[in-house]
Amino acid sequence: MPVTDPALESRDLPWEELKQAATAAMQRAYVPYSKFPVGAAALIDDGRIISGCNVENASYGLTLCAECALVSSLAMTGGGRIVAFSCVDGSGNTLMPCGRCRQLLYEFRAPGMVLQTVSGIRTMDEVLPDAFGPENLS
């Protein structure tokens, strides 16, 4: 049973704008090997929207997910915390970030961060329960 609070669905977040930003990023994807473009977009706690696309490599395992580009861009543009996140594939379908990317996003979460997923809006804690984080290093 989903543990998401239904109130999350009605939170005033710019999901359509995020999807548009993710779609624009997806169109920049470099995916000659998988031919599976991905675009990711995040609302930052200062109101900006940051995005990223996946970038593959002839050494397949070196592929950078769209979320890698997104968090890199976040750091490069002054940092901040992610309030809401959305990710799309080449068909415009909402995509679940892979496990590694959930960890990448967790590092930069704002309190109460939410993600658009195939099964609705979920909190970071729902998609990565009992996460390892910076606090575990102390």
Ligand X SMILES: O=c1ccn([C@H]2C[C@H](O)[C@@H](CO)O2)c(=O)[nH]1
**Smaller CB separation from ligand X, 58 or 137:** 58
Q: Which H or E run includes 65?
A: none
CA distance 18 to 40: 8
**Binding track over 63-82 against ligand X, x by CB under 6 A:** x-xxx---------------
Decide the pairing of beta strands 49-53 and 38-44: antiparallel
Report yes or no: 61 and 88 within 8 Å, Cβ to Cβ.
Answer: no
CA distance 108 to 89: 23
Annotation says 67 is catalytic: yes
**Smaller CB separation from Zn ion, 14 or 126:** 126
Closest residue to Zn ion in the complex (CB): 65
CA distance 89 to 67: 13
User: What residues are designated binding site?
Assistant: 54-60, 65, 98, 101
Contact partner at residue 56 from Zn ion, ligand X, none, CB < 5 to 8 Å by partner kind: ligand X
Exactly one of 17, 67, 126, 135 is catalytic; name it: 67
Judged by CB under 6 A, the chain residues 79 through 98 that form the site for ligand X are 97-98
Q: Measured in whole angstroms, how far is the alpha carbon of residue 88 from the centre of its chain? A: 9
Just list the catalytic residues: 67
Q: Which residues bind ligand X (CB under 6 A)?
A: 31, 34, 36, 38, 54, 56, 63, 65-67, 97-98, 101
